[in-house]
Amino acid sequence: MSALAWTAVVVFTVAYVLIASEKIHRVKVALGGAVVMLLIGATDAHHALFSEESGIDWNVIVLLIGMMLIVAVLRRTGVFEYIAIWSVKRTRGRPFLVLVVLIVVTAVASAALDNVTTVLLIAPVTFLVCERLAVPVVPYLIAEAMASNIGGTATLVGDPPNIIIASRSGLSYLDFLIHLAPIIVLVMVVFIALSRVMFRGSFDADPERVRGIMELDEKEAIHNPRLLVLGLVVLGFVTVAFALHTVLHMEPSVVAIVGGLVLLAFSRLDAEDVARDVEWPTLLFFAGLFIMVGALVNTGVIEQVANYAADAASGRLATASVGLLWGSAVLSGVVDNIPYVATMSPVVAEVVHAEGGGQQASALWWALALGADLGGNATAVGASANVVIIGLAERAGHRIGFWQFTRYGLLVTTVTLLVTTPYVILRYFVFGG
């Protein structure tokens, strides 16, 4: 490798360590790293801004903006609170069933929307429900963060790593549903069973308190029925268009941004107010990451790594897939899974291409998605949803320590990977070969 390539590797490594250590805000690090890559000549404006292979992935950025706009409007309708409280009331206040309902609602919402928004919406409802039942709220919050990470794995739009993988691999929304959703349903069942054991001391409620749940009036949550109908119609159209995007010849990013803008235009809401809900710092973080990874592509580092990986994987795709699954989970537990997947995607793309791009080679993409997404559960800092839940709990006076979360996280991650490993082997290498 050239001196420039080694310099790019050093810049990238320093940035990665700084992101992992959280000593400096991740947006500053990503943008700072991108600027350094530009200054040392590892990339240039043309590559950084316009190259599909080594620049900002505008499909990812635009898709995220579109989905964030849709969520920003939908959260103003009260529909999430309505669904959560309606569902909890169906359990007649039985604590374990309440937990199951909250897990399922969180997972399904996370599959359709981003994880952080989902936990931001479900956590306040959880505080209310647990206060009414006089049960400890912490186990419920931990379970929701994990359910969010698991549910988000099921779809193309469910978790940012999946959006990156979709853009780099060309895999469609339906591909994600067909390959990931079935195993995620099974993982959810196992996770619920595990929650019954892990949080077994949290399901005793006074029958008197249970009545408090039934007194909640979920209909009061809906304060703008017109906006609700409009929001659900647009979300329905967007979901159908996602599923049909290959037939419609529309990128998911175009579907999302059209849906977001149409919803905003007809919502009668203040556009400036809604736009404030778009997480612009996160988008800048993505942009900085893409430029840094693009610099590694430009300088040949990614090709070099991919060549090693392709040699190692050649003829051993099953082993490589399982290795990628577990390796991704370990790394995603330590570092945010977004930079990890942004870096690994070009490598995996090269290996899949080198292996002919068939069903077995594509198993690497699913191993990457499953490992990176489910690995986020491993530690308290493994995924944004975990960090957000812990922050909300602390603000409400319920501190969740790093190890308190992580001891559950390690168990859940290990068990969920033990469930997904045979799935990858059986589906792609035993029955799919």
Q: Point out which residues bind another protein (CB under 8 A).
A: 78, 81, 85, 120-121, 123-125, 127-128, 131-132, 212, 215-218, 220-221, 223, 392, 395-397
The span from the CA of 27 to the CA of 213, in Å, is 41
Contacts of 119 (CB under 8 A, 6+ apart): 106, 144, 145, 148, 385, 388, 389, 392
Q: Are 315 and 27 in contact (CB under 8 A)?
A: no
Q: Which is nearer to another protein, 221 or 234 (CB)?
A: 221
Q: Are 284 and 244 in contact (CB under 8 A)?
A: no
Q: For residues 56-78, b (16+ Cβ closer than 10 Å) or e, as one string?
A: bbbbbbbbbbbbbbbbbbbbbbb
Q: Which is nearer to another protein, 216 or 412 (CB)?
A: 216
Q: How far is the CB of 119 from another protein (least distance, A)?
A: 12
Tokens representing 233 are 């119609």
Q: How far is the CB of 333 from another protein (least distance, A)?
A: 28
Q: Are 422 and 370 in contact (CB under 8 A)?
A: no
Q: How far is the CB of 38 from another protein (least distance, A)?
A: 37
Task: Name the CA radius of gyration of the chain, rounded.
Answer: 22
Q: Which is nearer to another protein, 135 or 335 (CB)?
A: 135
Q: How far is the CB of 101 from another protein (least distance, A)?
A: 16
Q: How far is the CB of 132 from another protein (least distance, A)?
A: 8
Of 142, 143, 135, nearest in space to 201 by CA: 135
Q: Which is nearer to another protein, 249 or 395 (CB)?
A: 395
Q: How far is the CB of 78 from another protein (least distance, A)?
A: 5
Q: Which is nearer to another protein, 75 or 245 (CB)?
A: 75
Tokens representing 58 are 């505008």
CA–CA–CA angle 160, 162, 165 (5° rounding): 115
Q: Which is nearer to another protein, 87 or 362 (CB)?
A: 87
Q: Which is nearer to another protein, 212 or 300 (CB)?
A: 212
What is the torsional sign of CA 404, 112, 265, 248? positive
Q: Which is nearer to another protein, 141 or 291 (CB)?
A: 141
Q: How far is the CB of 217 from another protein (least distance, A)?
A: 5
One-letter amino acid of 190: V
Q: Which is nearer to another protein, 131 or 270 (CB)?
A: 131
Q: How far is CA 250 from CA 30, 52, 232, 264, 415, in A?
A: 30, 17, 21, 20, 38
Tokens 């309902």, residue located: 101
**How far apart are the two ends of the chain, measured CA to CA in Å?**
37
Tokens 């203040």, residue located: 270
Q: Are 247 and 225 in contact (CB under 8 A)?
A: no
Tokens 């006074």, residue located: 206
Q: How far is the CB of 128 from another protein (least distance, A)?
A: 5
Q: How far is the CB of 228 from another protein (least distance, A)?
A: 12
Tokens representing 275 are 């736009």
